[in-house]
Amino acid sequence: MSTRTGEAYEAFDAVDVIRAKRDRGRLTDAQIDWVIDAYTRGAVAEEQMAALNMAILLNGMDRAEISRWTAAMIASGERMDFSGLSRPTSDKHSTGGVGDKITLPLAPLVAVFGVAVPQLSGRGLGHTGGTLDKLESIPGWRAALSNDEMLAQLEDVGAVICQAGSGLAPADRKLYALRDVTGTVEAIPLIASSIMSKKIAEGTDSLVLDVKVGSGAFMKDLDAARELARTMVDLGTDAGVRTVALLTDMSTPLGLTAGNALEVRESVEVLAGGGPADVVELTVALAREMLTAAGVTGVDPADALADGRAMDVWNRMIAAQGGDPHADLPVARETQTVVAESDGVVARVDALAVGVAAWRLGAGRARKEDPVQAGAGVELHAKPGDTVRAGDRLLTLHTDTPERFARAQEALAGAVVVTSGDRVEPSPLLIDRIAAG
Ligand code: URA
């Protein structure tokens, strides 16, 4: 049935589309194209899209429907074009976690090998930090670049980490805000199409997905994370983007820091050839995947961390966006420590609790317009598997506003478990790899 809204005739009636999915039917290509377009221009009401999202959450979509839904979201905005660059492009997307600063060392590391990395990133919301918030703790660094500035930096330096323009997949922005307030964020077809519409519109040749699993991740459950990874790999592949996913552990924070300037400092340690073993392992694993996907073989990215080549690209990448890579980073005014109550081995440091504590200390924001504190966050002194003595520091909390300590400590109650045994095997970081096919 077609209807008339105002002066325009509409090809479909939103209620028919909702009923089709409510009754477990498949949506046709024409219905999907129409509903995304009509919603973006305001001809499908928020309550109608909310009902359709809930029907999708409950009844799912098949591969062809998800592909079409993603294509319709891409068509709602502009597409970037990197085909004029002299280098192949490769990008990484992480579904988000606590202490996940991997983009910072990874982008310059991959660029060392002649692959351009256009990393369009976001700000943090909730307990996971945002890459742009982290980089903004570097004095002078600027997140907003025009498309021309971005292309010039990709050609010259090889790596850009900047804010995604508002023109990419505008349907997703509207849809995500609606899902957030209607209990429909968790639908795998909607998460996959939301992430992939932005990545495909960005125009990268290849994409490596880091799908996190565990308490600090969006996906707490391995089967759901695997399904999300498979769905996104299929979507990328169907759109002609070489896509591979790693499933990685997020039951404990990555590295030893969660918080903006704290994470930049740790990333610089990794670029200097040091840093925590798990951050190095994941950075190198993702770099290998990105280089392979971009057709670069026979090189070892670990060498470029050890010999300073990745650091050179980092310095140029930060300077190109107005930052001073050698400036002192902000430090929080106040600290408080959490110490071990007994001798033993650390069995658990819960990622979600650390993420919430860092957020409450001022590293994250509750509303998207809130400011963040550059120096705030949580520093870990021990990770699962480490031996500690009673009185040893387990965590240091950093903030400019000491009245925040109490709520952060509340979030950390029970977060660090020390057992009396003599050995704890930490969970493996790399859980699985999902490729096209
Ligand atoms: N990130 C996105 O961009 N979209 C989602 O739906 C979830 C996470």
Strand 206-213 and strand 90-94: pairing? parallel
CATH of the domain at 396: 3.90.1170.30
In the predicted model, what is the mean pLDDT of residues 6-35?
Answer: 92
Same domain, 320 and 346: no
- Assess whether pLDDT exceeds 70 at residue 120: yes
Instruction: Print burial letters for 345-358: b (CB count within 10 Å at least 16), e (below 16).
Output: bbbbbbbbbbbbbb
- Assess whether pLDDT exceeds 90 at residue 421: no
Q: Could you tell me if residue 205 is inside a domain?
A: yes
Q: Which atom of ligand 1 is nearest to the CA of 195?
A: 3
Q: 231: CA distance to ligand 1 center in Å?
A: 13
Q: 378: CA distance to ligand 1 center in Å?
A: 25
Q: What range defines the domain where residue 189 resides?
A: 90-327
Residue 194 annotated among the catalytic residues of the structure: yes
Q: What is the pTM of this model?
A: 0.95
With a 6 Å cutoff on the Cβ, whether 194 touches ligand 1 is: yes
In the predicted model, what is the mean pLDDT of residues 141-155?
Answer: 95
Task: State residue 402 phi and psi, 5-degree precision.
Answer: -60, -20
> Which of 179, 182, 195, 196 most suits a substitution to test ligand 1, by most atoms within 8 Å of the C-beta?
195
In the predicted model, what is the mean pLDDT of residues 105-117?
Answer: 98
CATH of the domain at 100: 3.40.1030.10
In the predicted model, what is the mean pLDDT of residues 87-100?
Answer: 95
Which residue's CA is the nearest one to ligand 1's atom 7?
191
- Assess whether pLDDT exceeds 70 at residue 7: no
State how far the Cα of 160 lies from the Cα of 151, in Å rounded to an integer.
9
**8 Å CB contact between 105 and 221:** no
Residue 179 annotated among the catalytic residues of the structure: yes
**pLDDT for the residue 366:** 74
Same domain, 353 and 239: no
Same domain, 226 and 283: yes
* Mean pLDDT (the chain, rounded): 94
Same domain, 206 and 239: yes
- Assess whether pLDDT exceeds 90 at residue 389: yes
Same domain, 47 and 102: no
Q: Could you tell me if residue 201 is inside a domain?
A: yes
Q: Could you tell me if residue 82 is inside a domain?
A: no
- How is 385-399 classified by DSSP, letter by letter? T-EE-TT-EEEEEEE
Question: Could you give the percent of the chain with pLDDT greater than 90?
Answer: 87
Same domain, 208 and 314: yes
Structural domain total, the chain: 3
In the predicted model, what is the mean pLDDT of residues 63-91?
Answer: 95
**pLDDT for the residue 124:** 72
**pLDDT for the residue 307:** 97
Same domain, 386 and 238: no
**pLDDT for the residue 8:** 65
- Asked which of 269, 299, 327 is the last residue of a domain, the reply is 327
- Assess whether pLDDT exceeds 60 at residue 228: yes
Which residue's CA is the nearest one to ligand 1's atom 2?
195
In the predicted model, what is the mean pLDDT of residues 190-200?
Answer: 95
Same domain, 357 and 220: no
**pLDDT for the residue 288:** 98
Same domain, 256 and 145: yes
Same domain, 250 and 371: no
**pLDDT for the residue 3:** 61
